[in-house]
Chains A and B, each alone.
Chain A
Amino acid sequence: MFTIESLHQPQTLSEVKQLVEKYPDITVLGGCGFLKLSSRKIPVALDLSRCELEKIHETEQHIEIGAMVTLRDIEKNPALNQWFDGALPKAVSHILGVQFRSCATIGASVYAKYGFSDILPALLALDTQVELLRGGRMPLVDFLSKPITRDVLTRIVITKDKRRVSYQNLRNAGADFPLLNAAVSKHDAEWKIIVGARPARAEIAVQASKLLTSSAYGTVDSGTVAMAASMELAFGSNNKASAEYRQAMCQVLVKRAIEEVLA
């Protein structure tokens, strides 16, 4: 369990900015699910729970999710269930139990860029931007490709469009980490195929996505595209599954996701 020497509870983002400038090593407290697994000594901790970041806000064009929104709030949010075939609520609903999801926050889940994440593939399948205190707003895909730097993630912004989305995952046991997951989306004629928990971080299968986008429906079958995705991406082994198994299962999950989007 971590220990905290001093705690700051700012009420506005400009106060947060001042604190981050004053204490470059400040530690943001999310829901503490991961933090509490370490025995870190935290000299200066930052609590964002008074900064109005605990809300999901729907505008005409976007759904904005504050960094302190819990995974359970996402699971139950009517707008997120209504849009994108409910892919994001579906993805978070596999993470441990209801009580845990009422603690863990979306800001930490995205900021930490976990390889096993159920959330990142689903968010990558959407038109998602992240808002960082110092780094400003950028597409999630760009944020994920950068090394982790000291910053504070304040919001996630998803464009409301009529895309169809499917999220698939494979686990050895119900509440375990996924050993592989995939998300597929189709917006107008553009397809996106994402595979995560390889066990490396979720990544877009660019070539397979292009193959599917450029082919008129019926000329390339979902199995061929799924095979292309499994050949394009790298897979590794760990105590949950071997690289070979992941590569084989990638074909199953991607094919299933494409067919669900087409259904």
Chain B
Amino acid sequence: MKLELLINQKIYALDVAPDEMLADTLRSKGFLSIRKGCDTSCCGLCTVWIDGKPVLSCTMLSFRVAGKAITTIEGIQPEAEKFARILAAEGSEQCGFCSPGFIMTVIAMKNELKNPTEQDIQHYLAGNLCRCTGYMGQMRAIKTYLRGEVQ
């Protein structure tokens, strides 16, 4: 199928199969921040934004996002870097494999929720798994980031 996808504000003319998932399309175009962790819609590693909302690119058919704005972490690098530095300072950036998806969800949450409580944060991030940390460092990093403190 021939279609145009708007990725990080740039238009890409693509030829995709009808069963191609967005994670594969994005990786084939060099967006290697997109990782496939579980491939069963559970881990959140492949999170991207569609029209600003976080979705699982491993579960989203590519043809369905034609005409919508796709954002990967490459498209929000300065903001992502700001939070990533806080994550690293809290020692919660270990193998780093889950970080791009995790960072995309945290920034989406910051854009969507006003003054989230710890419970709101846990609920919003329930779909992002990390097998290295115990989530405590990440929670500290998120709170620091939401308070607007620069590391």
**Which residues of A are interface residues toward B (Cβ below 8 A)?**
1-4, 6-7, 29, 31-33, 36-37, 42, 45, 47, 49, 72, 93, 96-100, 102-103, 174-175
Contacts and interface: CB of A to CB of B under 8 A. Distances in A.
Contacts of B127: 96-100, 175
A89 to B, nearest CB: 12
A98 B18 contact: no
A72 B63 CA distance: 21
B69 interface: no
B100 interface: no
A100 B18 CA distance: 20
Interface in B15-30: 17-19, 21
Contacts of A102: 50, 53-56
B61 A97 contact: no
Nearest to A96: B127
Nearest to B125: A97
Instruction: Specify which of A47, A93, A98, A175 lies most central, judged by the most chain B CB atoms within 10 Å of its CB.
Output: A98
Contacts of A6: 18
A160 B10 CA distance: 44
Given A36-B21, A175-B126, A99 B61 contact: no
B80 interface: no
B117 interface: no
B64 A100 contact: no
Contact of B19 (A2, A31, A99): A2
Nearest to A8: B18
Interface of B: 1, 17-19, 21, 39-42, 44, 47, 50, 53-56, 58-61, 63-64, 105, 108-109, 123-128
B114 to A, nearest CB: 14
A102 B56 CA distance: 8
B126 A103 contact: no
A72 B40 CA distance: 18
B137 to A, nearest CB: 19
A7 B18 contact: yes
Nearest to B40: A37
Nearest to B127: A97
Nearest to A72: B53
A189 B93 CA distance: 56
B128 A97 contact: yes
Contact of B59 (A31, A42, A175): A31
Contacts of A45: 18-19
Given A29-B61, A33-B41, A97-B127, A103 B55 contact: yes
B54 A99 contact: yes
Contacts of B63: 7, 47
Given A1-B19, A3-B19, A45-B18, A97 B59 contact: no
Nearest to B54: A99
B133 to A, nearest CB: 16
A99 B42 contact: no
Given A98-B54, A99-B44, A93 B123 contact: yes
Contacts of B108: 98
Give the top 5 A-B pairs by smallest Cβ distance, nearest first: A97-B127, A7-B18, A4-B19, A4-B18, A102-B55
Contacts of B105: 97-99
B126 A47 contact: no
Given A32-B59, A33-B59, A99 B18 contact: no
Given A45-B18, A175-B42, A36 B126 contact: no
17 contacts: A1-B39, A3-B19, A4-B18, A7-B63, A32-B60, A36-B40, A45-B18, A96-B41, A97-B124, A97-B128, A99-B44, A99-B56, A100-B56, A102-B50, A102-B54, A103-B60, A175-B127
